[in-house]
Amino acid sequence: MSDLLVINTISEAVNLYTGKTPDHPLIHVVDLNDTEIPAGLNNIRICSNLYSLVLKVNANAQVQYGRNQYDFSSGVITAYAPGQIIQVDETYKPGDLKGWSLMFHPDLLLHHPLQQTIKQYGYFSYDVCEALHASEREQQMLNQLAEEIRRETQQNQDEFSLDILLTSVELLLKYTDRYFNRQFLTRKPFYQDSIERFSRLVDEHLDKAAETESGLPSVNQLAAEMNMSANYMSDLLRKQTGKSAQELIHQQLIEKAKYRLLNSDDSVATIAYQLGFEYPQYFSRIFKKKTSMTPQEFRKLH
């Protein structure tokens, strides 16, 4: 088997995990009780060009992903967008897991508003370790919606089928988003520590920019240092502060720039280089956008 297994269709995915055929060519709800991950799939990287939302419940064992184990006894929700690559480091046979996996092809969303709005659900790009631990009540609601989708895919198709399916899928995604946001709120003390750590990292990067020539810190770079996916970190920060990660970087950048403009005789170009900018013009453009003044105007006014 190839080191990279590419899945392009619902039929390929359902056949791989269950050996069965799907109820619908573009969408299917898999009963995880029927799935099998044989040893032959271990250490194989899989690129699925499908959307998937998975609720796993396992009352008997832990499942290993990479070097970490995750306890699914309480119910965990993970989601994947098309094109993501995962490595299979878990094996289980039919009956080992409970739960379901909703898989749908991007073509299902063609000419429907969900084709655009699905992009707002950042959890499709979260890491496995950032999964949602769903309560029993939350699981019941999601199970109900998944079952409605399953029943609809098994009906004879008519002029109402697609709209009903997409309405149910959208509702399932919205509830999942609601529960992820709930988790951001209930774990607020932990996330407050994360915000403070993010701020410290930005400061460290800006302070060392001149000597290391590393440039401005990027969202991806900071997320990696915080051991988070970029989307998860951005959603966490926005939920707690109302600002995106990039906005928070620029906010700290402007504060440091203001201090240097008022407490040194360095030129604007020198300050720009000190903060990690390759081009002073870009620094001046950001500064004016955030303060409504050029760096020179700010220095003269104060």
> What does the radius of gyration of the chain's CA atoms come to, in whole angstroms?
24
pLDDT band at 142 (very low <50, low <70, confident <90, very high): very high
pLDDT (tens digit, 9 = 90+) per residue, 55-87?
988 644 444 433 344 444 568 899 999 988 877
Distance CA 223, CA 226 (A): 5
Distance CA 89, CA 66 (A): 6
Give domain limits for the chain. Answer: 4-186, 189-301
Q: Which helix (H) or strand (E) holds 31?
A: strand 27-31
Looking at the domain 4-186, which fold is it?
Jelly Rolls (2.60.120)
CATH number assigned to the domain covering 189-301: 1.10.10.60
Q: What phi, psi does 85 have (nearest 5°)?
A: -110, 125
pLDDT (tens digit, 9 = 90+) per residue, 247-295?
999 999 999 999 999 999 999 999 999 898 888 999 999 999 999 999 9
Rounded mean pLDDT of the chain?
86
pLDDT band at 169 (very low <50, low <70, confident <90, very high): very high
pLDDT at 65 (0 to 100): 39
Distance CA 233, CA 127 (A): 11
pLDDT band at 187 (very low <50, low <70, confident <90, very high): low
Mean pLDDT of 209-224: 84
Instruction: Work out the percent of the chain whose per-residue pLDDT is above 90.
Output: 49
Closest among 226, 206, 213, 142 to 180, alpha carbons compared = 142
Q: Above 70 in pLDDT, residue 231?
A: yes
* Residues constituting the chain: 302
At residue 246, the 3 state secondary structure works out as helix
Distance CA 206, CA 254 (A): 11
At residue 103, the 3 state secondary structure works out as strand
pLDDT at 71 (0 to 100): 43
Residue by residue, DSSP assigns 119-162 as GG-GGGG--GGG-EE--HHHHHHHHHHHHHHHHHHTSPP-TTHH
Distance CA 171, CA 148 (A): 11
